[in-house]
């Protein structure tokens, strides 16, 4: 099969680090399915693994968001059948979705929403799982939760889906940060009640809007730059969560207000095969239902063509520029006969 491989980190830049290879199809474990890839999306984790910021057991083939058709099942697979169209975010310790075929454990996949195209659906699994686990597993937010939440980096992939999940499943007030007119309009279109500029003092903007201190703060990027502001503006006994990878993080300023701190990595359940590993498949099933009900929309922003080293390099560079909004998606490999 064709795949895009990743060289060992050299300069940390995407240029010349991604290249096409021919490699055998994956061999299935008992609970695996083999998926013929239809569409993938690219995430910051792809760039971090490529440049060595996140170590993994496998560095050959990147990519974890995918939509595709099951073409083979392992001996112990019981939930899925040949021909099922599924979506998932994969396992950081296994070869990824930048390939024609990918092996994935049945416990972390679900049927993809029928109302979305492959490209539209591929934008959602990884960010959807990350946002869901932070909001509902780590923070413990429920349908009865009230108050306000501040999402730092509201226009990114995780922020974009977190806004929608909160509006679909709670009555909470959602405050999102965005700095450019296009990203401010984007988060408003997704349901944010208020938008503030993360390049300006956050607490002052909340005061100007007449908003109380938020009970929750969800930081999706540049957390070390905002930590003191977060400590100042969050409500006493609030909850703070992050998903990025600061070089260092001193959470001592949060002690005075008894703020609980939560770190979310969507891959934890699959990496450690936790007892609740199958919860990821269930989350994706519920997310698909919200999509079918029209309560959550795709966060797809850009389709950069078929999977190729050139298009993946461009995707990585766009993500690393910090100017992407929503998700970047690539369709499957171009058929050789169409080249």
Query: Tell me: the pLDDT tens digits for 200-223?
Result: 999 999 999 999 999 999 999 999
Share of the chain above pLDDT 90, in %: 81
Residues 140-173: tens digit of each pLDDT: 999 999 999 999 999 988 999 999 999 999 999 9
The model's pTM is: 0.93
Residues of the chain with CATH 3.40.50.720: 127-263
Q: What is the mean pLDDT of residues 263-281?
A: 96
Listed range (77-81, 238-242, 274-278, 321-325) with the worst mean pLDDT: 321-325
Q: HSE-up of 76 (CA within 13 Å, CB side)?
A: 8
Listed range (3-17, 173-187, 227-241) with the worst mean pLDDT: 3-17
| For helices 125-132 and 157-169, angle between their N-to-C axes, nearest 10 degrees | 60
3-class secondary-structure state, position 213: coil
Q: What is the pLDDT of residue 230?
A: 98
Q: What is the pLDDT of residue 73?
A: 98
Report the chain's C-alpha Rg in angstroms. Answer: 20
| Residue 79 CB coordination number (10 Å) | 16
What's the fold here for domain 2-124+298-338? Answer: Quinone Oxidoreductase; Chain A, domain 1 (3.90.180)
Residue tagged 């929403």 (tokens): 113
Cβ within 8 Å of residue 238, ≥6 positions away: 213, 214, 215, 216, 217, 257, 259, 260
The residue among 226, 221, 243 whose CA lies nearest residue 319 is 221
Q: What is the pLDDT of residue 155?
A: 92
Q: What is the mean pLDDT of residues 167-189?
A: 96
CATH no. for 127-263: 3.40.50.720
Distance, in Å, from the CA atom of 265 to the CA atom of 134, rounded to the nearest integer, reads 9
Residues of the chain with CATH 3.90.180.10: 2-124+298-338
Share of the chain above pLDDT 70, in %: 93
Distance, in Å, from the CA atom of 45 to the CA atom of 61, rounded to the nearest integer, reads 13
Q: What is the mean pLDDT of residues 13-32?
A: 85
16: left (phi over 0), alpha (psi -120 to 50) or beta: left
Q: What is the pLDDT of residue 44?
A: 87
> Do 52 and 9 contact (CB within 8 A), yes or no?
yes
Residues 76-99: tens digit of each pLDDT: 999 999 999 999 999 999 999 999
């Amino acid at each position: 099969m064709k795949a895009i491989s990743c060289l060992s980190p050299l300069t940390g830049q995407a240029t010349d680090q991604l290249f096409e290879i021919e490699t055998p199809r994956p061999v299935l474990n008992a609970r695996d399915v083999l998926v013929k890839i239809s569409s993938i999306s690219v995430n910051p984790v792809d760039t971090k693994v490529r440049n060595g910021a996140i170590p993994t057991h496998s560095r050959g083939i990147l990519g974890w968001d995918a939509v595709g058709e099951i073409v083979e099942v392992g001996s112990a697979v019981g939930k899925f059948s040949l021909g099922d169209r599924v979506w998932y975010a994969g396992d950081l310790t296994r070869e990824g979705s930048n390939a024609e075929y990918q092996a994935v454990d049945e416990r972390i996949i679900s049927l993809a929403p029928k109302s979305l195209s492959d490209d539209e659906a591929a934008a959602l699994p990884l960010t959807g799982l990350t946002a869901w686990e932070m909001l509902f597993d780590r923070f413990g937010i429920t349908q009865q939760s009230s108050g306000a939440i501040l999402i730092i980096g509201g226009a990114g992939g995780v922020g974009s889906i977190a806004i929608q999940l909160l509006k679909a499943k709670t009555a909470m007030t959602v405050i999102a940060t965005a700095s450019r007119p296009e990203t401010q309009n984007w988060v408003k279109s997704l349901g944010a009640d208020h938008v503030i500029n993360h390049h300006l003092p956050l607490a002052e903007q909340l005061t100007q809007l007449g908003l109380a201190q938020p009970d929750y703060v969800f930081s999706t990027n540049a957390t070390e730059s905002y930590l003191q502001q977060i400590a100042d503006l969050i409500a006493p006994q609030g909850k703070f969560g992050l998903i990025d990878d600061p070089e260092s993080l001193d959470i001592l300023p949060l002690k005075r207000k008894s703020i609980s701190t939560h770190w979310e990595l969507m891959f934890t359940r699959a990496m450690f095969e936790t007892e609740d590993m199958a919860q990821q498949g269930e989350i994706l099933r519920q997310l698909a239902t919200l999509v079918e009900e029209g309560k959550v929309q795709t966060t797809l922003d850009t389709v950069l063509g078929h999977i190729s080293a050139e298009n993946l390099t461009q995707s990585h560079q766009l993500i690393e520029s910090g100017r992407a909004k929503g998700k970047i998606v690539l369709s499957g490999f171009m058929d050789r006969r169409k080249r």
